[in-house]
Structures are given as structure tokens and as C-alpha cells.
Amino acid sequence: MLRASISRALLALVLLTLAIAAPAAPTPDALVKNTAEEVLALVRSDPEIAAGNSSRVYAIVEEKVLGHFDFQRMTRLAVGKHWRQASDPQRQALTDNFRTLLVRTYAVALAQFRDRAVEYRPLDNAPTGDEVMVHTLVATPQGKPINMDYRMARQGEDWKVYDVLVDGVSLVVNYRSTFDTTVTEKGIDGLITMLVEKNAAAQGGAQ
């Protein structure tokens, strides 16, 4: 009995030690800043990117950025009301192809803005719920910065981006009208085909 009590006490002590030693998850604004600065540093210093190798940008985005995005939620929001009628395989195909489209869009923007200064705004208040908006400003040659804001949601101990707003225009809402028209005319499979063709065209243009 005493041995069991000692074992339980030691286990509790080990768990407490691990809890104290574990690094705290970054706040949403710190996550955006740390990720963006790391990615920009890599893009600015990579000689292959400077020589025009777009596949290197995609590789960096895949490695450093994608884990911080909730692509299924982004796809669901972009598809809107039609998401309910999609089967599980169709939802997976939509998510996979929309993810590819967004990665290429992000990578192209990253290559264009790699030399721009970015200002990271602190959160107005510490996040107390499961949703937050992180604000940044991207400098432009014209002098007027671009507002780039990230809608984020808590997932367990982590924060994930589920929408990006550029000067107040939502990325997912921007796609929604096009997706709605396509599904209305050609169905869910028609939307999947459109995304596949867009990605194939973009890949061919990058080669």
C-alpha cells in the first residue's frame, strides 16, 4: 500500500515537472509574427528563389506555413451552403484542391512581397474565447500600407488561420461567389474539376 502511494506521488511529481517544463503555446499574434518572419527570412536568403525557382517557395510554404492553417474550414466557408450536399470523398477532394490553390496563391504573394517591411500589431486584448483577429500592415512602394489580417480559431492548445483579409476583403468570401456559380451550373463535381484545372494550369505556367 505504501509502495503504491509512493509510486503515485512520484508519477504526480513527474507530470508536474513536465507541465512546468513544457513551453507555452504562442499567442495568436506571436504565432503570426514568428511564422511570417521565419518564412520571409528563408525566402529572402534563398539563392534559388532569387533566381526565379518558384518550387522552392512552395516547399518553404509547405514546411513552415501549412500546419497553421485550417484548410477544411476555409474550404467549407468558401463552398458555403453547398458544402452540406457534398459527400465525404467530394469534401476531401474540394479541400485538397482548394488547399493547393491557396498554397500557390500564398507562395506567389510571398515572392512578390519578400522585400516589403511588415508591421505586426499587438492584440487589442488577450484572447479569452476561441476566435481572434490578428492585424498586420505590409509596406508598399506607394507609401500606403496594405492591411493584411488573419482570422484565427483555437484548436486545443493551438491557433489556426481560417481566413485572410486583404484591405478588408475576405479570401474565402472572395471565392464564394465563383464557387456558388460553378456548383449551381455544374454541381460539386464541376467545382472539383474547375479547381483541378486551375491548379494544373498554374503548375504548367510555373514550369
> With bands split at pLDDT 50, 70 and 90, how would you rate the model's confidence at 73?
very high
Q: What residue spans define the domains of the chain? A: 24-206
pLDDT confidence of residue 48? 84
Q: What is the DSSP letter of 27?
A: P
Q: Which amino acid is at 134?
A: V
**Any bridge partners for residue 163, and if so which?**
151
The CATH label, of 3.50.80.10, 3.40.50.300, 3.30.1150.10, 3.10.450.710, for the domain at 24-206 is: 3.10.450.710
Whether pLDDT at 10 is above 70: no
Q: Residue 73: name the closest of 171, 187, 178 by CA.
A: 171
Give the SS3 label for residue 146: strand
CB 118 within 8 A of CB 137: yes
Residue/partner pairs of 144-147 with CB below 8 Å, 24 or more apart: 145/119
62: region left, alpha or beta (phi > 0 left; psi from -120 to 50 alpha):
alpha
Whether pLDDT at 52 is above 60: yes
Q: Which ranges constitute the DSSP H helices of the chain?
A: 2-21, 28-45, 47-50, 54-64, 71-79, 88-112, 171-206
Strand 118-120 relative to strand 158-166: parallel, antiparallel, unpaired?
unpaired
DSSP codes joined into one string, 102-122: HHHHHHHHHHHSTTS-EEEPP
pLDDT digits (tens, 9 = 90+) for 153-192: 999 889 999 999 999 999 999 999 999 999 999 999 999 9
pLDDT confidence of residue 197? 95
The structure's pTM equals: 0.80
pLDDT digits (tens, 9 = 90+) for 127-136: 667 899 999 9
pLDDT digits (tens, 9 = 90+) for 77-90: 999 999 999 999 99
CB neighbours of residue 88 within 10 Å: 7
CB 59 within 8 A of CB 187: no
Whether pLDDT at 9 is above 50: no
